[in-house]
Amino acid sequence: MLIAFLVGFSLAACDLPRDPEETLEGVQGQELRVGVLKFGQNAEKDRPIVERLAASLEAKLVYVEGDAHALFEDLKRGHLHLVIGGVPESTPFEKELGLSKPVGPLHGAHEEEDRVLAVRPGENAFLLRVNQAIEAAKAGGAGS
């Protein structure tokens, strides 16, 4: 009984989710650097989510456009915080990235597929805030 109590207490004391690279803390009140795969319909649909996220973190938005390989590499290195603009839910980079919940259909895809937003792998507290922004934007009628 004592062991169960100690294990339960230890788990309750954990501060989860965490960001090993402190992305959430680094963005709050600073800059939210967002990589955009391509300014177009997907990016325009993702923009209200990103704006809501930036507002909730009191962060200035900085957009950088580029190709997937360059943006995902910058994301993994911490030069970007988020990648938007048409990341397919089945991205071949999914094992190297943190992916949000689906934000809506991927416009321009041959088959019906959802798009997601990508974050640096392991940054779970930041990913939680991204997912909260997605839910808030969907409740407000944006992001589809």
Domains identified in the chain, total number: 1
Cβ atoms 90, 113 nearer than 8 A: yes
13 domain residue, yes or no: no
1 domain residue, yes or no: no
Chain-wide mean pLDDT for the chain? 88
Nearest to 93, CA basis, from 132, 119, 111, 125:
119
- Return the CATH number at 88: 3.40.190.10
Q: Is the pTM of this model over 0.95?
A: no
Q: What is the predicted pLDDT for the residue at 17?
A: 81
128 domain residue, yes or no: yes
Cβ atoms 82, 130 nearer than 8 A: yes
82-88 and 98-99 as β-strands: parallel, antiparallel, unpaired? unpaired
80 φ/ψ angles, rounded to the nearest 5 degrees? -125, 160
Q: What is the predicted pLDDT for the residue at 11?
A: 47
End-to-end CA distance of the chain: 50
11 domain residue, yes or no: no
* Percent of the chain topping pLDDT 90: 70
Sites in the chain below the pLDDT cut of 50: 2, 5, 9-12
In whole angstroms, give the CA distance from residue 58 to residue 97.
25
Cβ atoms 131, 26 nearer than 8 A: no
Question: Domain range holding 30?
Answer: 20-139
The residue written with tokens 């321009």 in the block is 108
